[in-house]
């Protein structure tokens, strides 16, 4: 037969066990919330690193396209435009500052391009 003192000790132990279970549950829940928060922050960090890498790649690798079909050449304001299609058949244009365009594309440059093209064709 259990004594009053034993009963009280048993109830105290049961209460302590219950308190420890509740505390463990709260701690586990807090750790889960913290883990989710860390995972969200990690995902955001990865997204930002990806954005930075894209920016770096844009700076490192210049845009390189081939205009296969020039279909429009015009000037507007202080700019010269050449429209055409790229190697994938998508339309795109190049805009130049008119002054720069004229300083680079002169009669001598055009003659040199013609000369090179004639050699290539032969």
The per-residue pLDDT for range 33-91, each reduced to its tens digit, is 778 888 888 888 888 888 887 777 766 666 778 888 899 999 988 899 999 998 889 99
Let me know whether 39 and 77 are in one domain.
no
How many distinct structural domains can be found in the chain?
2
Whether 109 has a pLDDT exceeding 70, the answer reads yes
Percent of the chain predicted with pLDDT > 70? 89
Q: Are 5 and 53 contained in the same domain? A: yes
* C-alpha distances in Å from residue 100, one per residue of 12, 47, 78, 97: 90, 39, 10, 5
Alpha-carbon distance values, 83 to 77, 88, 91, 108, 121 (Å): 16, 14, 7, 23, 25
Last residue of a domain, one of 46, 62, 78: 62
Query: Are 17 and 43 within one domain?
Result: yes
- Note whether 76 and 53 are same-domain residues: no
Q: What is the pTM of this model?
A: 0.44
51 and 75 assigned to the same domain: no
77 and 107 within one domain? yes
Torsion sign (Cα): 18, 20, 21, 22: positive
User: Taking a C-beta distance cutoff of 8 angstroms, is the pair 79, 97 a contact?
Assistant: yes
Instruction: Give how far the C-alpha of residue 54 lies from the chain's centroid of Cα atoms, to the nearest Å.
Output: 5
8 Å CB contact between 102 and 108: no
Task: Show the 3-state SS of 14-53.
Answer: HHHHHHHHHHHHHHHHHHHHHHHHHHHHHHHHHHHHHHHH
């Amino acid at each position: 037969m259990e004594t009053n003192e034993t009963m009280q000790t048993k109830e105290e132990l049961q209460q302590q066990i219950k308190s420890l279970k509740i505390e463990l549950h709260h701690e586990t829940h807090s750790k889960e919330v913290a883990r989710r928060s860390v995972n969200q922050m990690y995902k955001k960090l990865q997204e930002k690193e990806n954005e930075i890498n894209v920016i770096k790649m844009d700076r490192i690798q210049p845009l390189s396209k081939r205009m296969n079909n020039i279909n429009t050449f015009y000037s507007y304001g202080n700019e010269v435009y050449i429209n055409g299609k790229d190697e994938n058949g998508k339309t795109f244009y190049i805009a130049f500052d008119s002054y720069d365009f004229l300083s680079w594309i002169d009669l001598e440059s055009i003659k040199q391009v013609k000369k090179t093209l004639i050699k290539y064709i032969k």
